Amino acid sequence: MIDTTEERTALVTGAGGGMGREIARQLRDRGIRVAIADLDAAGLVETAGGGEGVLHLAGDLTRDGAADDAVAAVLARWGRIDVLVNNAGYGAIEPFLAMTRKAWDRTLGINVTALAMLTAAAGRAMKDAGRGRIVNITSPASRMALPNYVAYAASKAAVDAITRAAAVALAPHGVLVNALAPGMMDTEMQRSTEATIAEIEGRTDVAAFLAERTRRIPLGRRAEVAEIAASVVWLALDAPDYMTAERLNMSGGLDKD
């Protein structure tokens, strides 16, 4: 369990809305000073809600040097970085035989390269401090055959690989690296993704399509954003100090391994 006797700091990416916003808010509720990063500057303002102890980092995390700049900004503001949550993500829906290089480049740029660079940048600072926790957001998609969503699925398989490698690299320095795989949620990204999949599959009754997908979940319901965010916060603050290189599934039984 992370020591909360001193003020700790966290960097949460993709915090301009959705799950990233909820993660940032729950961390703040725990007394953590939070840096929030996103392309959507207006979304960051809404996430912060006028509260103190929040650092806004609006910009493109795929830019060369963006990861180092983000971590440097946190260190300049507070002198430490205790938690990194790599939540920013992107997913393009394209039929397998009609995939485009543009979609692959954007998906891998955000979901893989930016995540890896941020993990390394934060890892260097955490190594010097002798402590820290990194949580990467993966997906059940990483272990599924999804011909209309293959770039996203492949990118999340890469996140799993990065998580394991980073955990081993940083273990001698007291830094824990784990991943969380959330199930279906009612977020903007989830809604737009499923609507596009329905269109590609020729499904005109989107409500029926969504209901069918929900029935695939053994628990019979979709996840609440707040309960997924709480699991991320648990990994970031409360999980045992012996837990690293792990993938925590929060998919209602959809991902059973």
**Residue 256, number of CB atoms within 10 A of its CB:** 9
Structure tokens at 173: 């320095």
pLDDT, residue 4, reads: 47
The whole-number pLDDT of residue 256 equals: 72
pLDDT of residue 216 exceeding 80: yes
Q: Does the pLDDT at position 176 exceed 50?
A: yes
The first and second tokens of residue 229, run together, are 């965010």
Q: pLDDT: is 10 or 207 the higher one?
A: 10
Report which residue type is found at 136.
Answer: N
* Mean pLDDT over each residue of the chain, to the nearest integer: 93
Beta-carbon contacts of 117 under 8 Å, excluding residues fewer than 6 positions away, are: 66, 67, 68
Identify the CA nearest to 11 among candidates 58, 51, 53, 71. 71
* % the chain with pLDDT above 70: 98
In the structure encoding, which two tokens stand for residue 232, read together?
A: 């991320």
Residue 187 is predicted with a pLDDT of: 72
- 74, 66 contact by CB (below 8 A): no
Confidence of residue 5 (pLDDT cuts 50, 70, 90): very low
Using one digit for the tens of pLDDT, what is the confidence trace for 126-154? Answer: 999 999 999 999 999 999 999 999 999 99
Topology annotation, domain 9-250: Rossmann fold (3.40.50)
159/142 Cα distance (integer angstroms)? 9
Dist. CA 1–CA 183, nearest whole Å: 25
Known catalytic residues are 152
| Token pair for 148 | 């209309």
Q: Which of 12-26, 162-176, 211-225 has the lowest mean pLDDT?
A: 211-225
Mean pLDDT, to the nearest integer, of 76-96? 96
